[in-house]
Every structure is written in structure tokens, then in C-alpha cells.
Amino acid sequence: EALAALKALKALKALKALKALKALKALKALKALTALAALTALTALTALVALAALIALTALTALTALIAALTALTALIAALVAALATAFVTGLAVIGLATAFVAALTIAFIALKIQF
């Protein structure tokens, strides 16, 4: 009986040791899984932050390009207005010269007609 009790005690101790080992392995696996999940979440968060920064940078670049284009357009409009003003003034001058020329011709013809 003592031998059977000793064997039963050894078997019980072996069973407890096996259960403790399994629990330890399960705990390690759980810790590894938790660490992996945390790493995955951190990686996703880092990627999300990087994407947000890239989108913001892209939007800023697009806004800068838009401002540059609007500035160029403003300069173009100012040049066009200046050119139109110059053309208008030149047109007035040409009209004035043409009017003076016609008046001079008229006077010359009248003077010639009076002579003859």
C-alpha cells in the first residue's frame, strides 16, 4: 500500500507539474499574443499618423501651388489691363493723329481750291 501511495503521490506531483508547465506555456503564449497585438496596433497607428501627415503635406503643397497660380493670374491680369490701357491711349493718339491729318488735308484742299 505504501508503494502504491508513493506512486500515486509521484503521479500527482507529475500531474501538478505538467499542469503548471501547461499554464506557464499558456501564459507565455498569451503574453506573446498581447505583445504582438500591441505591436500591430502601434504599427497601424504609426502608419495612420504618417498617412495623415502625408495628406496634410500634400494639401499644403496643393494650396501653395494654388496660391502661386493665383498670384501669377493676378500678375497676368494686371499686365493685360496695362496693355489694354496702353492700347487705348495709343488708339486715342492714333485717332487724334488721324483726325489732325484729315483736318490738315481738308485745310490744304480748301486752300488749294481757294487758289484755283
Q: For the segment 82-110, what is each residue's pLDDT rounded down to a tens digit?
A: 888 888 888 878 888 788 888 888 888 88
In this structure, what C-alpha cell is assigned to residue 46?
A: 504609426
- The confidence score (pLDDT) of residue 90 equals 83
For residue 1, the 8-state DSSP code is -
Q: How far is CA 60 from the centre of its chain?
A: 5
Asked if residue 114 has pLDDT above 80, the reply is: no
Give dist(CA 44, CA 41) in Å, integer.
Answer: 5
Give dist(CA 71, CA 54) in Å, integer.
Answer: 25
Per-residue model confidence as pLDDT tens digits over 27-69: 888 888 888 888 888 888 888 888 888 888 888 888 888 888 8
In this structure, what C-alpha cell is assigned to residue 82?
A: 496695362
